[in-house]
Structure 1
Amino acid sequence: MKRITKDTIELLAPVGNWECLRAAVANGADAIYFGVDKYNARVRAKNFQMDELPEIMAYLHKYNVRGYVTFNILIFENELSEARQLVHACIDAGVDALIVQDLGLVETIREISLDFPIHGSTQMTVTSAEAVEFLKPFDIEVVVLGRENNLKQIKTISDNSQLPIEVFVHGALCVSYSGQCLTSEMWGGRSANRGECAQACRLPYDLIVDGERKEMGNIAYVLSPKDLAAIELVPELIEAGVSSLKIEGRMKSPEYVANVVSKYRKAIDEYIAGRNYSPSKEELRELEQSFSRGFTYGFLRGTNHKALLDGTYPKSRGILLGRVKKVLKDAVLCEIQAPLKRGDGIVFDRGRPDQKEEGGRVYDLRKKGVKLEGEVLEGLIEIVPGRHDVNLTKVGIGDKIWKTSDQELERRLQKTFETERVYRLFPLKVKVTGKVGKPLVTHWFDEEADIAVTIESNVNLELANKRPLTTEFLMEQFGRLGGTIYELENVQLHVSGDVILSMKELNKMRREAVDLLIEKRQQPHIYMKNSDRTTENRAKINPNKAVSAKLISLCRSIEQVEASCKTDADYIYADFEFTKDYPEAVRITRQYGKLIALATPRIHMPGEQGVLNGILRAKPDAILVRNLGALQYYLDQNVDLPLIGDFSLNIANHKAAEMFLNRGLKRITPSYDLNIQQMVDLLKVTRIGDVEVVIHQHLPMYHTEHCVYCTFLSEGTDFTNCGRPCEDHRISLEDRVGFSHPVRVDVGCRNTVFNAIEQSGAEYVSDFLELGVSHFRVEFLEETGSKVKEVIQLYREALEGKRTGTSVWKTLKATNQLGVTRGQLVK
C-alpha cells in the first residue's frame, strides 16, 4: 500500500461497522478510519474487535484502500501494557497507521517500531506550524489540524511543514477545541479525552449577562454548532495544501457514509480532472438529508460567530420544507421549498426540540384537494400525514416542517454496498514470452499495488498451423476479467514464431494470476519491530520522604496577584484575559519580592507569535506553557527561563511526562482527566520533583473559538467589528439545574466556560506529600482579594498538617474531588 504524501489528495471516511466499511469502499474512499475495542474517541460506537484486524485490512487492501485505527484518547498508567498489545496487533495486521492523541503512546509506539506510521490526531490540538514542528522527532506521518484553522492558516502551516496535512471537511463540529473539552467528565465522569463525550454542548443554557437573565426568545442552544459542510471548498482546501480530506461520523449510518463519500469523491475527481465543479442543489439537499443540524463552513472561510450556530435546535433536522400556513382536518397547507413525495418522513417544529414533536410519514400529497402522484418539487401543497403518526391538533400555523428522511434516497444508497462492489477497476499489464516446445510465460503487473506474479502454462507451446497467438487474441482472452477488481490495460507479446495454446489453458492462467495478485494485495505490510523494551511496569522510583511543599497561586486579576503577594504563597502565576496587563503583574510581584510565571494562551495560531513575545518582554521569572506551538516557539528562541507545562498538554502517563521533561520543560502538570488513583499511579513512576499538582480550581470546561460575547451581545461577526463587549460585560451560562458557569475571554478572543463550583483536592494533600510531591497549585477565577488570602491560608495549613483536607473543602464548600474521570474504562 502506498502511504499518504504531501502531494496526495486522500478522501478519508469514517467507519463504525462492517456495513459502513463496505459503504466507504464501494463509494470511493481512499482510506477509512475506525476504532478497535475501547481505546478510541467513540467508545459508544459499535467498534471492531482486535481479532478482526487481519480480516479488515485484507478486505481494504484488496481494494487499495488504506485503513487507519483510531487510538485517539489519553492512556492512563495502568493501561500502558494493554495499549502495547493493541499496537502490536495493529502492526501485525498491517494497519496503515494509528491515529494517536497521547504523546506518551507515541513514545511507546516508537519503542516498538521505528517505521510504523503514526498520525497526529486532532485531539493533539495542533493549530500552528510550530506545533507541527514539535512532533517532528517522532516521525509523525500526517497531522490532523484543529477544526478552528481557516484556509489561510492551513496554507501557512502547510507551506512551513514537510508533513501531509489532514483537515475535517464534513460532519459534526465540536464547539470546543478537540483535546481541550473537560465538560463531559466534570458533569458525568465521561471524558471527551477518553472517548465518552456526553455532548453537553448540545444542551440548552440561559444567558446570564452581568447577573441578569437575557431574554433570548427561542434561542437556547448557545453552544451547539451547525454541521460542517465544506464540499464547495474542496478546490480551495487542496490548493491550501491539504493532503487528506476527512469526513466525521463513526457513529453514523452506512447510508450516511455512502452519501457523503460519494459526493466528496465526485468533488475531488472533478478538481483532479481540471473541471470547475459546484455541487448541485439536489446534491446539497441529499447531504442535508442524511444528517444535518444546518450546514456551515465552520471556521474555514474565517470567523463568523453569527453563522456558526442556529441556536434553536441541537439535533439533526434534515431539509427545511417550509412553514405551516393552515391546519386542515386531515392535512396541513405548506408552501414547500424542497422536493417531497409519499413515504418521506417529516417532523413539525414548534420551537421546543426538548419536547416530543409531532412527526411521521407522508401519506398523501394534494393540491386544492386533488391527489398528486410522484414527487412534488414546490408550490402550495396539502401534506397528509399518516393518521396514526401525527396529532394535527398539536400542530400550529407557523410551525416549521422538516423532511427528516427519504426512503428512496436510502434505498439508492443501500444498493451501493448491499453486495461487494468495486468502485473502480485496477489496470493490469501482461508481458508474454515463449517458444515452441516450452511453456508460455506470462508476467502480470498490478502497478497500483506495486505487485507482480509470473504464471507459466502447464503445457508447452506448439507450432500453429492456423490462428497463432496474437496480441489481439490475448487481449481478448486475458481481458475476460468480469467479476474481478481488474481490467486489462495492455499485453506485450514476445514469442518466437507462430505458436498456439488452448483457450482452456489461457483461461486457467488468467484465473490463477488474478487469484495470486489478490492474495498478494491482501498480505499485511511488514513493519520493522524493535525488541520490545517494556517500561510501564518499572520499579517505583520515588522514595517516600518529607518535602518542603511549595504553594503556587494562579491569579486571573491584578487584585488577586496583589492579594497573593501578601500571603506566604511561594510562587505567583498570572493567567489574564488581556496579556497587556502582564507587565503590571510582574511589577507588583517584584515589589513584594515574589516570583511570577506568566501563562501563554491555551491555543496558538499562525501569526500569534506577538503574544508569546509580549510575555517575554514582560520579563517574568518563568512561563506557564499551555500548547505545543508555544513550547516549540520558546525552544526555538532558546529562552533562558523555566518552562512549566500546564494541564492542557494532556499528560496522563509517565511516558508523556518524561517526553515533555526531556524536551525542555522544568515541571509538568498532569492532565485533569486523572482521578486520584490514576494520579497516584502516575506519580509513583514519574520524577516527582518535576510534577506540579493542582489541588484547587474552577475546572475550565469548554475552550472554544466560538465567542458567546460577540454572538449574543454584538451586531458584529468577529473581533474586528464586535465592539468588544467582553470588556464591559460578564457572561455566564446557566444550566438546567441552575448552576451559572462563568465565560471568560482570552487575548485571542477565545472563550473558556468555567465550572460554577470550585473543585478541591485537599483530602489528597497528605497522600501527595507522602509520595514526595513538592509543588501544589491553587487557582482562582473571580475571587476577591480577601477570599484569595483565605484560600491560600487554608491550603498552607493543610500542607503543614495543621488542618485536615476535609476541613478545607468543607470550609470552602467546594466539590470534594481531584480530577474527574473514572468512566467505564477503569475497572
Structure 2
Amino acid sequence: MRAELLAPAGSFEGLQAVVKAGADAVYIGGSMFGARAYAKNPRKEEMLEAIDYAHIHGKQIYLTVNTLLKNQELYRQLYEFLAPYYEQGVDAVIVQDLGVLSFLKKEFPELAIHASTQMAITGPKSAGLLKEAGASRIVTARELSLEEIHRIYQETGVEIESFVHGALCYCYSGMCLFSSMLGGRSGNRGRCAQPCRLPYTALEKGKAVSGTEPSYLLSPKDMCTVDILPEILQAGVYSLKIEGRMKKPEYAAGVTAIYRKYLDLYLRTGQAYEVEKVDRQELLDLYQRDGFHKGYYHMHNGPEMMATVNEKEQSRKQGTVGKRNEALFARLKKQYLDTKKQEKINGNLILFADTPAILDLDFQDIHVQVQGDLVERAQKRPLLAERVRQQMEKTGQTPFVFDSLEILTDEAGFLPMQSLNELRRRGLEELQQQYLAGYRRTLRKPETEQKPSLAKEKRAQAEAVKFYVSVEKREQWETALKQREVTGIFCSMSMFKRKEFLKEVLWAAEETHRAGKEFYLALPYMLREGRMDGMEREITQIAEKTEGFLVRNLEELGYLKKLGLLFKAVTDYSVYSFNDLAEEFLENLQVKRTTVPLELNSSEIRHRRHENSEMIVYGFYPMMVSAQCVKKTCGCCDHKSGELQIKDRYGQQFTTKCFCDFCYNVIYNSVPTGLLEEAEQIRDMGFLALRMNFTSEGPERMKELLNAFAAAYLAEENKGKKKDAFQISGVTKGHFKRGVE
C-alpha cells in the first residue's frame, strides 16, 4: 500500500524540522496567496532553498496558493510569484480558486495541481469535475466520513488527501464569511480572525439553551486519528495531512514523528496496532483543546466534538494555567531543530604523486568526477591515507555525509589541505547541482495577457433589468408572487416535503409561472452523503418545467453536469468567481449565470466581468455553513428544522437555522446587507440581473423592502434622485465599500 505523510511548515525552519521527523512531503506558503498569511512564510530566496532542501532529502514540497485572487493579483502578480518556484522544481501547488486552476494549467503545464479543502469537495461529483478540469489530487472537506471518502475514490480514482490531525474549522472550509463580515479579515484570503473560538450564548425563543454562562459553541476540539490510520488508508486516502502551519516547528515535528512511527508500523506489518500511552500523552502535551476526537470520519456531528468549556481559558481566568511540557519541547528542539540532516554518499579519491587529484562521488543514480590540483611528490612528510580521510569527511553543513570513502594513494605525494578542501567543496557542489537538475524546469513565455481585462462598458439597456428574490419560507414565496417588479423566484429546496417533493415543486413552479415569473429551485448550501442520489429523474423533470437551479457548491455543479443540466444552473456567490478566469471557467461549463462574490468591493466589482452575473443587493448574509448543529451541541436537538439565535459577547444576535433534511446549520449575519443608497452606482455597472435574499423576514417587512429596492433599481425616472430618498435602517453595506485585504 502506498501512503504519504504530509506535514505542515510555517517557515523554512519548520520545513527542516518535519523533514527530519519523517515527513514524506511538506506543504508551505510563500509570501503571497497562502491561507495562512500570518505564518512566518519564507521569502523568495529562502523558498528556493527550501525546495532544494526537500528534494535533496527525497521529499515532495507543495506550495499553498489556496486563497481567492482578485483580477489584479491573478494577472499582474501570480505569474511572477510562481515562476521562480516552478523553475526550481516545486512539486505541486494547492489551489482554491477556479481561475487560478485554469491559469496554472495554461502557464505552468508541468505543475501538479491539488484542489484545496477550501473548495469544500464533498463527493464524487465535485471530485470528478475538478479532476476533469486538471486537478491531480483533491483534498477532501474535513467533514467527510470514511464511507464518503471511499465512494469518491471508487467512483473517480482520483488521488485523495485528507486531514488526520490538528485544528478543525467549525464551518465548511471556504464557506465562512464570519471573520470578514465582522472584521474585514477573510478566511478566503488567509487572514481569518477565528471568531469561532469566542464564547456565545444560544437562545431559542428568547430563552438560553446553552447554560447561564457563554460557552464556546463554535469551537471544535482538535482531531487525532493516530488510532485509525489503517481505516483511513483503506478508505482510499493516499496523503495523510497534518494541520499546523501556524504552530511552532516543535509541534509539527513532534506530531509528524509519532504519525511516522505508526504509519510505518502498519505499512510494515499490515496489522492493527495499539497506540502507546506515552505517545498519546505526547500528542496531548503538544497541543489540544479539551482533549481530542477522531474528526468526522466516524460521526456527522455532536457535542463530544466541541471544546465548549475551553479548559485553558477557564484556567487562565482562575489563575491556574498549567505549564507547557517544556522538557518535551526542549527534546524536540534538540532532536529536530538543532541537528542537521545529511544524505549518505559514496566516494573514491585518487591521490598519486605527479598526477592530478581525482574525486569520484555517487549519490543515488548521480555520478560526478572532479579533478583537483597536481599532487606533488613529497619532500619530507607525504600525506597518509588516514590523514586525508579525516580531512575529506568534514562535509560540514552540506547535505551530504560519506557512507564510504575509498582512498587510493601511493602515500608518496603531498597536497595542501586547502586543495583537498577545495576538491571536496567542488565535488559536493557538483553532485548537488546535478541531482537537483532533475527537478529544474524551463518556463516558456506567458500566454495569458498580463493585465486584467476590464469589464465591458455599460451596455445599452436593450432589455430590462431582471429582479430576482430568493426565499426560504412559503409565505415569502406567496408575497413575492404578488410583487409586480419581481422577475423570478428562487425557492429553497427545504420548503418542499420529501415525500411529495416532485409534486410540490412542479405545483409551485406552475403557480409562479401563472403569476408571470420565472421559477428556480435553490439547492442546499451543502450537498453530501449521496442525499440527492435517486432524485435524478425528479431533477430532470423539474428542469424541463422550470427556468433552472441555484447552485451553492461544487458537488451540486458536478451533479447537474452529470445530468447534462449545467445550462440550467445559476451559481451562487459561494461558487466563487473572484476573477475573470474563474468567471470564464464557469461560463465554459455553460452555466446560465454566476453570482458576484460577497467579499469584493465596488471597485473590484467594476473591474470584473459581470455581464453574465447577478448581484445580490439585499440579504442576511450566511456567515457560516456547518455540519455541526448548535441545537445538538446544546442538548436540545429535536431532529426538526428550525432556528435559534447565538449571542456574542457584545450582545449581537445571529440567527442560526437548522436544515435537518440535509443536516447542516447556517449562521446568518446579525444585520442584513442592504445596498439601497448605492442603487445608481450599481445600475451604472451594467448588471442585467439583481437579487434580494430573504431568510427570516415576514410578509410586511418583505413588501416594504421590495418596494424600496424596486423603486431604486428598476424605475428609470428615479435615477438621479437624492440618496436619502430610499434609505432603510438597520443595514450594513457589507464589503461593498471596504472589501477585504
TM-score higher than 0.5 = yes
Please name the residue that 2:580 is paired with: 654
Q: Distance in 2 between matches of 1:507 and 1:8?
A: 43
Residue by residue over 1:609-633, the C-alpha shift from the partner in whole angstroms, topping out at 9 and shown as x without a partner, is 3376354444532011111121122
1:78 and 2:78 matched: no
Letter in 2 for 1:598: L
Residue by residue over 1:638-693, the C-alpha shift from the partner in whole angstroms, topping out at 9 and shown as x without a partner, is 127521111111111111001101112111002111122221121xxx251x1111
Name the SS for the 1:57 alignment partner.
helix
Name the SS for the 1:88 alignment partner.
helix
Please name the residue that 1:321 is paired with: none
Please name the residue that 1:536 is paired with: 451
Change (3 A) 1:539 1:286: closer
8 Å contact 2:454–2:607 — kept in the other structure? Answer: no
Letter in 2 for 1:553: V
Q: Distance in 2 between matches of 1:417 and 1:308?
A: 32
Residue 162 of structure 1: how far off its partner (Å): 3.3
Please name the residue that 1:303 is paired with: 300
1:285 and 2:269 matched: no
Please name the residue that 1:759 is paired with: 673
Change (3 A) 1:801 1:204: farther
Bigger drift between 529-538 and 243-252 goes to 529-538
Which residue of the other structure, out of 319, 323, 333, is the alignment partner of 1:358? 319
1:815 and 2:732 matched: yes
8 Å contact 1:745–1:751 — kept in the other structure? Answer: yes
Residue 565 of structure 1: how far off its partner (Å): 0.9
Q: Distance in 2 between matches of 1:98 and 1:504?
A: 52
Residue by residue over 1:545-571, the C-alpha shift from the partner in whole angstroms, topping out at 9 and shown as x without a partner, is 335110001010111111111112101
Letter in 2 for 1:554: S
Please name the residue that 1:743 is paired with: 656
Change (3 A) 1:539 1:713: closer
Residue 243 of structure 1: how far off its partner (Å): 1.6
Please name the residue that 2:518 is paired with: 595
Name the SS for the 2:307 alignment partner.
coil
Name the SS for the 1:208 alignment partner.
strand
Name the SS for the 2:533 alignment partner.
helix
Residue 249 of structure 1: how far off its partner (Å): 1.3
1:525 and 2:440 matched: yes
TM (normalized to structure 2)?
Answer: 0.87
Q: Distance in 2 between matches of 1:86 and 1:556?
A: 44
Residue 154 of structure 1: how far off its partner (Å): 1.4
Name the SS for the 1:597 alignment partner.
strand
1:665 and 2:591 matched: yes
Residue by residue over 1:266-290, the C-alpha shift from the partner in whole angstroms, topping out at 9 and shown as x without a partner, is 1222122216433222211111112
Residue by residue over 1:472-516, the C-alpha shift from the partner in whole angstroms, topping out at 9 and shown as x without a partner, is xxx9999998987567789999xxxx9989999999988765443
Name the SS for the 1:265 alignment partner.
helix
Change (3 A) 1:216 1:809: farther
1:409 and 2:332 matched: no
Q: Distance in 2 between matches of 1:290 and 1:678?
A: 42
Residue 544 of structure 1: how far off its partner (Å): 4.1
The percentage of counterpart residues that share the same residue type is 28
Change (3 A) 1:432 1:695: same
8 Å contact 1:29–1:261 — kept in the other structure? Answer: yes
User: Counterparts of 1:372-521 in structure 2 under 5 Å?
Assistant: 403-422=322-341, 426=343, 428=345, 445-447=362-364, 451-454=366-369, 513-521=427-435
Residue 187 of structure 1: how far off its partner (Å): 0.8
> Which blocks of at least 5 consecutive residues in structure 2 are unaligned?
376-388
Change (3 A) 1:441 1:152: farther
Residue by residue over 1:509-554, the C-alpha shift from the partner in whole angstroms, topping out at 9 and shown as x without a partner, is 8876544323334455215535332253335533443351100010
Q: Distance in 2 between matches of 1:10 and 1:215?
A: 41
8 Å contact 1:97–1:117 — kept in the other structure? Answer: yes
Q: Distance in 2 between matches of 1:446 and 1:734?
A: 62
Q: Distance in 2 between matches of 1:755 and 1:310?
A: 23
Higher helix share: 2
Name the SS for the 2:678 alignment partner.
helix
8 Å contact 1:115–1:528 — kept in the other structure? Answer: no
Q: Distance in 2 between matches of 1:459 and 1:421?
A: 34
Letter in 2 for 1:242: V
1:190 and 2:185 matched: yes
User: Counterparts of 1:600-619 in structure 2 under 5 Å?
Assistant: 600-610=523-533, 613=536, 614-619=538-543
Which residue of the other structure, out of 152, 158, 174, is the alignment partner of 1:179? 174
8 Å contact 2:570–2:594 — kept in the other structure? Answer: yes
Which residue of the other structure, out of 624, 629, 642, is the alignment partner of 1:707? 629
Q: Distance in 1 between matches of 2:278 and 2:722?
A: 63
Please name the residue that 1:717 is paired with: none
Letter in 2 for 1:306: P
Change (3 A) 1:741 1:606: same
Q: Distance in 1 between matches of 2:257 and 2:731?
A: 52
Change (3 A) 1:207 1:307: same
Bigger drift between 608-617 and 235-244 goes to 608-617
Q: Distance in 2 between matches of 1:269 and 1:413?
A: 20
Letter in 2 for 1:610: D
8 Å contact 1:429–1:489 — kept in the other structure? Answer: yes
Which residue of the other structure, out of 695, 698, 708, is the alignment partner of 1:781? 695
Q: Distance in 2 between matches of 1:579 and 1:796?
A: 28
1:634 and 2:560 matched: yes
Q: Distance in 1 between matches of 2:722 and 2:139?
A: 42
Q: Distance in 1 between matches of 2:445 and 2:497?
A: 50
User: Counterparts of 1:258-269 in structure 2 under 5 Å?
Assistant: 258-269=253-264
Change (3 A) 1:815 1:801: farther
Bigger drift between 575-584 and 141-150 goes to 575-584
Residue 576 of structure 1: how far off its partner (Å): 4.0
Q: Distance in 2 between matches of 1:29 and 1:778?
A: 49
Q: Distance in 2 between matches of 1:476 and 1:807?
A: 86
Change (3 A) 1:491 1:406: closer
User: Counterparts of 1:224-263 in structure 2 under 5 Å?
Assistant: 224-263=219-258
Residue by residue over 1:38-57, the C-alpha shift from the partner in whole angstroms, topping out at 9 and shown as x without a partner, is 42212222322234322222
Please name the residue that 1:674 is paired with: 600
Residue 219 of structure 1: how far off its partner (Å): 6.0
Q: Distance in 2 between matches of 1:788 and 1:105?
A: 39
Residue by residue over 1:170-190, the C-alpha shift from the partner in whole angstroms, topping out at 9 and shown as x without a partner, is 111100011000001111111
1:557 and 2:456 matched: no
Name the SS for the 2:683 alignment partner.
helix
Please name the residue that 2:380 is paired with: none
Q: Distance in 2 between matches of 1:223 and 1:791?
A: 32
Q: Distance in 1 between matches of 2:572 and 2:366?
A: 49
8 Å contact 2:596–2:610 — kept in the other structure? Answer: no
Q: Distance in 2 between matches of 1:621 and 1:539?
A: 30
8 Å contact 2:199–2:648 — kept in the other structure? Answer: yes
Which residue of the other structure, out of 91, 95, 101, is the alignment partner of 1:100? 95
Q: Distance in 2 between matches of 1:236 and 1:476?
A: 50
8 Å contact 1:258–1:416 — kept in the other structure? Answer: no
8 Å contact 1:57–1:67 — kept in the other structure? Answer: yes
> Which blocks of at least 5 consecutive residues in structure 1 are unaligned?
1-6, 318-346, 360-401, 461-474, 715-721
Residue by residue over 1:296-351, the C-alpha shift from the partner in whole angstroms, topping out at 9 and shown as x without a partner, is 111012224122113111x7x4xxxxxxxxxxxxxxxxxxxxxxxxxxxxx973xx
Q: Distance in 2 between matches of 1:700 and 1:348?
A: 30
User: Counterparts of 1:133-152 in structure 2 under 5 Å?
Assistant: 133-152=128-147
Please name the residue that 1:47 is paired with: 41
Q: Distance in 2 between matches of 1:499 and 1:737?
A: 81
Which residue of the other structure, out of 15, 27, 51, is the alignment partner of 1:33? 27
Residue 123 of structure 1: how far off its partner (Å): 0.7
8 Å contact 1:60–1:67 — kept in the other structure? Answer: yes
